[in-house]
Chains A and B, each alone.
Chain A
Amino acid sequence: MSTVRIAGVGLIPFGSYGDRAGRELFAAAALAAFEDAGVEREAVDQLNYGNFMGALTEHQGHQAPLMAEAAGLSCPAITYEEACASSGAAIREAVRTIRSGEAEVILAGGMERMTTLDTGEATAALAIAADELYEVRGGVTFPSAYALMARAYFETFGGDREDLAHIAVKNHKNGAANPHAQFRKEISLERALDSPPVATPLSLYDACPISDGASAVLLVSEAFADDHDLDAPVSITGTGQGGDRLALQDRETMAETPATAAAAKEAYADAGITADDVDFAEVHDCFTIAEVMAIESLGLVEPGEGITAAREGRTTADGEIPINLSGGLKAKGHPVGASGGSQIAEVTHLLRGDHPNSDAVEDTTVGLTHSAGGTVGSAVVTVLEVEQ
């Protein structure tokens, strides 16, 4: 299997961009990726673009060719939509296309504008990732769906709000140094616990914010990297994707995320590693409970241990397996169509040693990203490795 190199990555700080159009956000991320890579835009064979709710937030469908134009590309462009895993899926498909030999250079990533909507409108827009007949019509929101999963987890494995608050505190601490993070401030355990309830047992500080943002990753074949003498020490060595029934009520379990487990199994086999080889990870923490379920289903901790991993310091920056050194979706922000690409960019910086939190993973070689759609009805896992 041929290796796919990450030639460059580009991000814009996540947050609120007022009247700026999504095309400008993606163009900025794309240009940053080209500058990072030292590759000419003319070399790009294809754009793999992730976006979830652009038709609702900017009244803009058919975004991929628009984004190619905005980024100065003259190549075919395809939109990938897997809810919050959209750019994770776009990157996985880019890796598969380069491996097949159909392309040598693919720009992959995503963009989302969300702050064009008020909180109620954004809540309604996010809900379209759920089952419209059997969940949305029953009053299920994105937070209440994860609250139902949290309740099921607590019933199965135990845990409480304070365990979850430790995850919020950890991720805010990690995000404080990240120039791309929406929230660059630490929070106290008391502040997290005292925040207003959104959907019990989850409160405001268990939730990621509503964000605008864009991410871009320039992927190249190993032959292209060698022929052009690129400095591209980080490779994607494994990818996997899993799926599940869309409605929670139809799942085998609500206390675990089988789609993540399936994606991880495929990605580990693809990379020729096991979960024990993973040094650190960026996982999909749209809510604190989501991080718990992710690290368990990825096999990074045992089932039932994820809930106390942050509290016990196992997943903190100085822990045995640092999780979400970027700040995660929780503190870095979650422009849904951009988040999967953002995770890849953050892990690339961490492995290259040019991330503000790289010291926490010095001398490590294997990073992982986990991107989930909806309530993990879809999941994409990617393994990244750096040359020593």
Chain B
Amino acid sequence: MTEHLTPDEQPATYDEWLDAIEAGEGFYLESPEGHGSLPPRRVCPHSGSTELTQQPLPETGTIEAFSEVHVGAEGFSEDTPYINAIVDFGPVSLTGVLRGVEAADVSVGDEVRLTVETRETTDDRLLVFRPT
């Protein structure tokens, strides 16, 4: 089954996916049945299909859940406190850090856009949501 491990069979790596978002070409993977998922992935977790195609990621999403984190993750000491959020973009949801708004002003259902920025603590890239 090594033919399934050739690079051109791989829809995208995680870093290639971040590159695409940074280039304004964010995408998700869609199965023929219309289910959404994220790379790196070879099998649709909903339908089991291996026929995954790239589709444009909607430009905005809505906050499903959020938390102001006071005891930060490893590599986030200079970022703390920060707001973790899970955002519903329709076919897929994404998890990252919400910037540009105070936690007290955030509500579930708020609309945000997706960017790729870096942490305050390190140069590691980070999925960031900002208010529209």
Contact = CB atoms under 8 A, between A and B. Distances in A.
Of the four ranges (under 10, 10 to 19, 20 to 34, 35 or more), the interface on chain A belongs to 35 or more
B71 interface: yes
Given A123-B74, A197-B70, A254-B64, A151 B108 contact: yes
B38 A143 contact: no
Nearest to B70: A197
A240 to B, nearest CB: 22
B43 interface: no
B64 A139 contact: no
Nearest to B17: A133
A46 to B, nearest CB: 34
Main secondary structure, interface of A, reads: helix
B74 A140 contact: no
Interface in A172-230: 196-202
Given A137-B124, A245-B45, A197 B96 contact: no
Contacts of B72: 139, 141
A157 interface: no
B69 interface: yes
B65 interface: yes
Contacts of B94: 134, 249
B84 A144 contact: yes
Nearest to A121: B74
A247 interface: yes
A248 B65 CA distance: 10
Interface in B44-100: 45, 64-74, 76-77, 79, 82, 84, 86, 92-97
Contact of B84 (A119, A124, A199): A199
Contacts of A234: none
Give the most central of A121, A135, A199: most B CB within 10 Å.
A199
Interface of A: 119-121, 123-124, 127, 133-141, 143-144, 147-152, 155, 196-202, 245, 247-250, 254
